[in-house]
Amino acid sequence: MLNKNVQDAINEQIKNELYSAYLYLAMSAHFEAANLPGIAHWMRRQSNEEMEHAMKFFEYVNDRGGRVALQALDQPPFEWASPQVAFEQVYEHEQKVTSLIHNLYGIATKENDYPTQVMLHWFINEQVEEEKNASAIVEQLGMIGGHTSALLMLDHRLGMRAGE
């Protein structure tokens, strides 16, 4: 049976992962409206990936005999001044998620919940990748500056992101 403190923390993380999916879906809608379909596609893929993360936690709670308690989500923003600003927010958001995963790991350690610690290793590794990808795009957008043709090339490349 899943420890109540761990269960409550995972339920909170399910909410955080669902919010991440919601945020990236809002970004996708924004970039569709801004006629940047590649960035919109990248954001939709990111939203789908975050939903998969939420479901990993959801299934884990159920597998351990716990109880999933879904929580209300805040409304995400729906406009960004530029792709640079949006991806800076993506990077900051992923850093926040990393800290939340680390805190969750700390709770599992405190409660001597070894199965949860093992499960969280996947998320810890995943967050390294998430931060790296977001940081790289922020840096590329910084190099682009105001060059529209370079932004369109990056938009095209981001549109080639395969499904997860």
The whole model's pTM is what?
A: 0.95
Q: Which residue has tokens 């596609």?
A: 41
State pLDDT tens for residues 58-110: 999 999 999 999 999 999 999 999 999 999 999 999 999 999 999 999 999 99
Model confidence at 163, pLDDT cuts 50, 70, 90, reads low
Please name which of 92, 83, 116, 97 lies closest in space to residue 7, comparing C-alpha atoms.
116
Residue 61 near residue 67 (C-beta atoms within 8 A): yes
Q: Classify domain 4-72+80-158 at the CATH class level.
A: mainly alpha
- Residue 101 · residue 13 · CB < 8 Å: yes
What does each C-alpha distance from 25 to 20, 29, 65, 66 come to in angstroms? 8, 6, 31, 29
